[in-house]
Structure 1
Amino acid sequence: MAPDEATVIAAARACVGARFRLHGRFPANGLDCIGLAAVAYGRDRVPTGYALRGGDPARVAAGIEAAGFVPVEGAARPADLLLLLPGPHQLHLAILTDRGFIHADAGLRRVVEVPGPPPWPTLGRWRVA
């Protein structure tokens, strides 16, 4: 059964403040953006085919969908999973909230909730099936 929006956002917010750790999958040890998504959505499987730099958006999208997410168009809503392009050849996952978005910020070295929309182009949006 898919988690509801409130459950996803509460789980993501519980990770705010966790340190950033590349390939991190547990809040106590640190999280990257894939680890944050895995914790928030309660998934045993996480998106695969993802690289922080030089990643192929189509391959990442396929991995997200293989993990049980469905691509969505139209109005965004809290708990949507976002695939972002924060820099050239750089991909990033974030979780939309009612206040903004939550992501594992490598520059700040921790998971943060940022108000407003992401400042980077959104390449895709998914919801749990």
Structure 2
Amino acid sequence: MSRIAAAALAAVGTRFRLHGRGADGLDCVGLVALALQAGGYDGEVPTGYALRGGDWSVLDRRLVRVECVEPGDVLLMAVGPGQVHLGIGTAAGFVHADAGLRRVVERPGAPPWPLIGVWRMGE
């Protein structure tokens, strides 16, 4: 299992907190930052973002865009008009910070939202 996917799975059950970055809570960006750091990522992570929109080009600067999802990949999904959401691919589906459930969860299967992009840590 990739270190990134393992870190995301280890966060399952952590409470949801908007702009959360640690044990006191995570949002989707915080979850992805935590997982990527476990995989050796030392780049920037977006901060101070709004609930809608945002500039996600930072992903293109340090990660490699790919076509197919593998465990440990970063998923950018369109969950509503102008609203995006991040998750981490796993062997069973994907891990994400679910605001409705108020915690980080693993959801089986493919995401129910359109994928905008998929990124992987480069070699």
TM-score by length of 1: 0.84
Partner of 2:7: 11
Partner of 2:66: 72
Alignment of 1:22 onto 2:15: no
2:44 & 2:27 partners in 1: Cα distance?
Answer: 12
Shift of 1:46: 4.0
Q: Conserved in 2, the CA contact under 8 Å of 1:52 and 1:90?
A: no
SS in 1 for 2:64: strand
Deviations 1:49-84 (A, max 9, x none): 77453314xx31x11123x111112x3211110000
Change (3 A) 1:84 1:20: same
1:49 & 1:30 partners in 2: Cα distance?
Answer: 15
Aligned Cα RMSD in Å?
Answer: 1.7
Counterpart code for 2:30: G
How many equivalent pairs are there? 119
SS in 1 for 2:107: strand
SS in 1 for 2:78: strand
Q: Conserved in 1, the CA contact under 8 Å of 2:63 and 2:121?
A: yes
Q: 1:103 aligns with which of 85, 96, 100?
A: 96
Change (3 A) 1:99 1:114: same
1:106 & 1:16 partners in 2: Cα distance?
Answer: 13
1:82-121 paired onto structure 2 within 5 Å? 82-121=75-114
Change (3 A) 1:46 1:78: same
Q: Conserved in 2, the CA contact under 8 Å of 1:49 and 1:63?
A: no
Shift of 1:47: 3.0
Alignment of 1:55 onto 2:39: no
Counterpart code for 2:31: L
For structure 1, list consecutive stretches of 5 or more residues without a partner in the other structure: none
TM-score by length of 2: 0.88
